Amino acid sequence: MSSHHAIHHILLIFLDGVGLAPPHSDNPFAHTPLPNLQRLFGEHFTLAPALKPAMTGHVATYDNVHLFALDAQLGVPGIPQSGTGTTTLLTGANAAALLGKHAGPFPPAALRPLLENQNIFTRLRHAGYEVAFANAFPPFYLERVARGRARRTTMTQAALAAGLSLRSADEMLQGEALSAFITNHHWHAAHPAIPLLSPEEAGKRLAHLAQQTTFTAFEHFTTDHLGHRRDMAAARQHVALLDAFLAAVLAHTDDETLVIIVSDHGNFEDLSTKHHTLNPALCLLKGAVPFEPHSLIDVTPLITHTLGVESPLHPPYQP
């Protein structure tokens, strides 16, 4: 899956709680058209592939994008959770194995030394690369962060540990950040000056932001929330939003940009249950990659190897 194009930018888009599952009746990806992504990558493009049981690794290639199923269980009994799953995604360490269980939704205190010292933001900054966390946060949340009272996602903790400043309403107004909800609809009522964005406009904005630094990350949680709600109508509406948003991102990133769209565990793809699933996690790649990922552990090494950054974890953390 290599190409003659050198990679100069990497965009990581994290979608919470999106697994891959066959096209069954409870899978919103199986019942919602994807016209924008199919226009880019062919009419056979699907996020509800006919997976074989326990399948991981490469699932399909559509034009110049590759779909992978990532093992989220990582040899640890139980249902995968966001705290350990996202820590694994952002460090390359098997956080659930280190902890002895899956845990979430926030990273456990025992994993903080690992997360703070070995996260991908910190490692790339230490290697001399410019990194960015594209999400913007409302004033009340930033005030709580300043007082040390905010509950912080794994990616937020990692970005702060790397010395990054969280983006605010000012960056939103300048077009230099994006709401976790993509279209700004949760911001607009309290901050009318912040314009509503179409999914396509939001995708173009994120693609533009990715060209400003070597590594840019963005996280989105509505998928997991809708999975817990088990609302097929709302889920299908959200699939349509993601189709427009992701297609715009992928259409407006060049061949020198590696785009990694990835999740931490299954949920949204199976509305027969309000709980997380044992399905493999979604991973969609556009761009040249040094190897094929098979599990959550592979995402950080995929980034470090692409940029030529030393990958092994030092020291091996034991909670």
pLDDT at position 312: 54
pLDDT at position 54: 82
**Confidence band (pLDDT; 50, 70, 90) for 45?**
very high
More confident of the two residues 301 and 314: 301
pLDDT at position 150: 84
**Confidence band (pLDDT; 50, 70, 90) for 317?**
very low
**Confidence band (pLDDT; 50, 70, 90) for 145?**
very high
121 torsion bin: left (phi>0), alpha (psi -120 to 50), beta (else): alpha
pLDDT cut 90: percent of the chain above it = 87
**Confidence band (pLDDT; 50, 70, 90) for 265?**
very high
Give me the residue label for tokens 């970005």.
Answer: 159
Query: For 6-27, what is the mean pLDDT?
Result: 97
Beta-carbon neighbour count of residue 188 at 10 Å? 15
More confident of the two residues 76 and 52: 76
The mean of the pLDDT values for the chain is 94
Is residue 178's pLDDT more than 90? yes
Among the four given CATH numbers 3.40.720.10, 3.40.50.300, 1.10.3720.10, 1.10.760.10, the one describing domain 9-307:
3.40.720.10
**Confidence band (pLDDT; 50, 70, 90) for 187?**
confident
Is residue 229's pLDDT more than 50? yes
| CA–CA dist 215, 12 (Å, integer) | 8
Q: What stretch of H or E contains 131? A: strand 131-133
How is the chain split into domains, by residue range? 9-307
pLDDT digits (tens, 9 = 90+) for 86-101: 999 999 999 999 999 9
DSSP letters, 13-81, are EEETT-B---S-TT-GGGSS--HHHHHHH-TT--SS--PPTT--EEEEEETTEEEEEEBSSTT-SS---
pLDDT at position 314: 45
pLDDT at position 186: 84
pLDDT at position 118: 95
Query: For 188-213, what is the mean pLDDT?
Result: 94
pLDDT at position 313: 52
Is residue 160's pLDDT more than 80? yes
pTM above 0.85, yes or no: yes
Give Cβ neighbours of residue 302 (< 8 Å, ≥ 6 apart). Answer: 260, 289, 290, 291, 293
Cα separations in angstroms, 258 against 6, 56, 210, 316: 10, 21, 10, 28
